[in-house]
Amino acid sequence: MTSTFDIVVVGGGSNSLTAAAYMAKAGKRVLVLEKNRRCGGGVVSVEVAPGFIHDPHATGLMTCMVNPALAKNELELTTRFGLKFAQWEAAFTTLFDDGSVLATHQDVDLTAQSIAQFSQKDAESYRELGRRCVKLAPLLNAGAATPPMPFSRFMGLLDSDTTGIGAELASSLFNSAYDVICRYFESTEVRLHYLKWIGEAMENPESNGTGVLVYNLLALVHSSGPFAVVGGSQKLSDALVDCIEYHGGTVRTQAEVVKLTISGGRATGVVLADGETIAAKDAVLACIHPWRLKQFIPEIDDRTAADARAVKLSNHGAVNQQISLSREPIFIGGNASILRNSMVVEYMPRGDFLGMRKIYDGYKYGEIPYGHFNPLTIINSFIDKTRVPKPDQAALYLYHFAPMHLADGGIKAWDARKQEYGDLVWASFKKYTTNIDDSCILGRLIETPLDHHRHSASMMQGDIFGIGTAGGQILGRRPTPALANYRVPNIAGLYLTGPFMHPGGTVTLGGRPTAMVMYQDMGIELKRGFEI
């Protein structure tokens, strides 16, 4: 027998759970179907050694903190469902191989002071850039939590600005992050610091169209600040599930959807891998990667499907390791204080600017960056002791960019290269500490682009943000102009959510704008779910 719900939701990642929570809050009977054993997708936690809580994917949070789902407590995640955050002082810090440190703090002036160690002129430039980003933050942050305006209207808005910021932001949509960084900064260390950080958007910072990411990321740093979920990122997904259930919704795991049913030009339900069918009275809300739309919905028109299939993936993926350590790292250079208070720490040789630039090109060709490993760590146990059995132990998140497709063997070759790559990154990290060796390892989990691809259908080919963020695949053009408003042309009652939709990758709680569009189409008053 086919069961019926008002809204059937495909996927239990943070974006679909967010949208589902808003629909349940509006009184709709919601069913969420998740393929994995637990909901969360890229927002999950694992116990790598007994008592050590690691987040294998999203662990450093910024974007979602300015979303009214949290910032205005629209879903009551903190007050009713027990979600807690710990805040970092700095967003990202570079530890160079000579022990010197450069930190981007939440505070613009503190950041400029850190930059002044390397260049007084760059410190002044940062004050100017930082101030611009602070001014842009309300526009960019509000834009990330609401449906995107048509691209032409957005450009018109920038063009009509008379302060000069609009024109600069408009140029950044066509320029590269490298262009913006080199325009503002002259010192190699400052350039390295920001070039590496922008790479975290998974694009080559020299690709045209990445310039806007500099403004975006700095606006976030200086508005929201950096956070971690106390007890592990899984608790954010669990709070969203609790919210859905509190409002009468149902969440099923180990339930993989293989097809949508379309009848009379309308989405009417889903088919599960075991053949079970479930009907949707009002709508299907689906996390389906643009490349797979035709597979799930053969009825989709050919042009829409072809444009979606032509969407480009990111420049690189990542190999991430969760290492349970018997002791906290002590870093070279004696700068313990800020290194223990920065969400992200990047490790790199001082002065290797050309090497860094070439690495990003190499990923595109499937090359392993031998001799140029520059790891990143996030050690949430510095600020959240619930993640470790003893306070002097550490739950290390050790991460490094990687080609999604290896030159020799493509993505499938990753199982065979996993240990080698993981060991190279680990060896590189150890050099930046004075007390860490292999005997400190109590547990270790390594994941490659192939593991990411297997874990979530959103992480297509190991793209941790689903699709690329450059090449115009942002705002009202993400993933394509026809799909950017979360609806699918010619198929009523079908809505899309996922990292490949606006506002994009990272934990954004981007299901909020999808739900807004659904409220509008269903004639539900926005104030039932949103503070507007």
Ligand X SMILES: Cc1cc2nc3c(=O)[nH]c(=O)nc-3n(C[C@H](O)[C@H](O)[C@H](O)COP(=O)(O)OP(=O)(O)OC[C@H]3O[C@@H](n4cnc5c(N)ncnc54)[C@H](O)[C@@H]3O)c2cc1C
* Interaction of residue 506 with ligand X, rule CB under 6 A: yes
Task: Give φ, ψ of 522 to 5 degrees.
Answer: -95, 5
Helix axes 234-246, 14-25, angle to 10 degrees: 20
Least distance (Å) between residue 222 CB and ligand X:
17
> Residue with structure tokens 């691809």?
453
Size of the site for ligand X (CB under 6 A): 36
Here's the x/- map for ligand X, 437-456, by CB under 6 A: it reads as ---------------x---x
Q: Which of these segments, 1-9, 75-83, 259-267, 499-507, binds ligand X (CB under 6 A)? A: 499-507
Q: How far is CA 459 from the centre of its chain?
A: 11
210 vs 456, beta carbon nearer ligand X = 456
Question: Which 39-98 residues touch ligand X, going by CB under 6 A?
Answer: 41-43, 57-61
Q: How far apart are CA 247 and CA 82, in angstroms?
A: 16
Q: Which of these segments, 34-42, 207-215, 274-282, 438-446, binds ligand X (CB under 6 A)? A: 34-42
166 vs 503, beta carbon nearer ligand X = 503
DSSP letter string, 466-513:
SS-SSTT-SGGGSS-TTTTTSEETTEEEEEE-STTSTT-SSS--THHH
Can you point out the beta strands (E) in 11-96?
Answer: 30-33, 46-47, 53-54, 85-87, 90-96
145 vs 457, beta carbon nearer ligand X = 457
C-beta atoms surrounding 412 within 10 Å: 11
> 452: which 2 tokens?
């990411």
The H-assigned helical ranges of 345-411 are 353-364
Is the C-alpha dihedral spanning 459, 464, 470, 476 positive or negative? positive
* Interaction of residue 375 with ligand X, rule CB under 6 A: no
C-beta atoms surrounding 164 within 10 Å: 9
Task: Give φ, ψ of 161 to 5 degrees.
Answer: -70, 135
Question: Which 255-274 residues touch ligand X, going by CB under 6 A?
Answer: 256-257
* Interaction of residue 123 with ligand X, rule CB under 6 A: no
Least distance (Å) between residue 318 CB and ligand X:
5
* Interaction of residue 468 with ligand X, rule CB under 6 A: no
> 435: which 2 tokens?
């007390």
* Interaction of residue 507 with ligand X, rule CB under 6 A: yes
* Interaction of residue 168 with ligand X, rule CB under 6 A: no
Q: Which of these segments, 7-15, 116-124, 190-198, 369-377, binds ligand X (CB under 6 A)? A: 7-15
Nearest to 189 by CA among 353, 310, 384: 353
* Interaction of residue 512 with ligand X, rule CB under 6 A: no
Measure CA of the first residue to CA of the last residue in the chain; give whole Å.
41
Least distance (Å) between residue 253 CB and ligand X:
9
204 vs 320, beta carbon nearer ligand X = 320
Least distance (Å) between residue 185 CB and ligand X:
25
112 vs 345, beta carbon nearer ligand X = 345
166 vs 466, beta carbon nearer ligand X = 466
* Interaction of residue 179 with ligand X, rule CB under 6 A: no
Q: Which of these segments, 28-36, 148-156, 164-172, 417-425, binds ligand X (CB under 6 A)? A: 28-36
Can you point out the beta strands (E) in 236-357?
Answer: 250-252, 257-263, 266-272, 277-286, 317-325, 342-348
List residues binding ligand X (CB under 6 A): 10-16, 33-36, 41-43, 57-61, 256-257, 287, 318, 320, 452, 456-459, 464-465, 498-499, 505-507
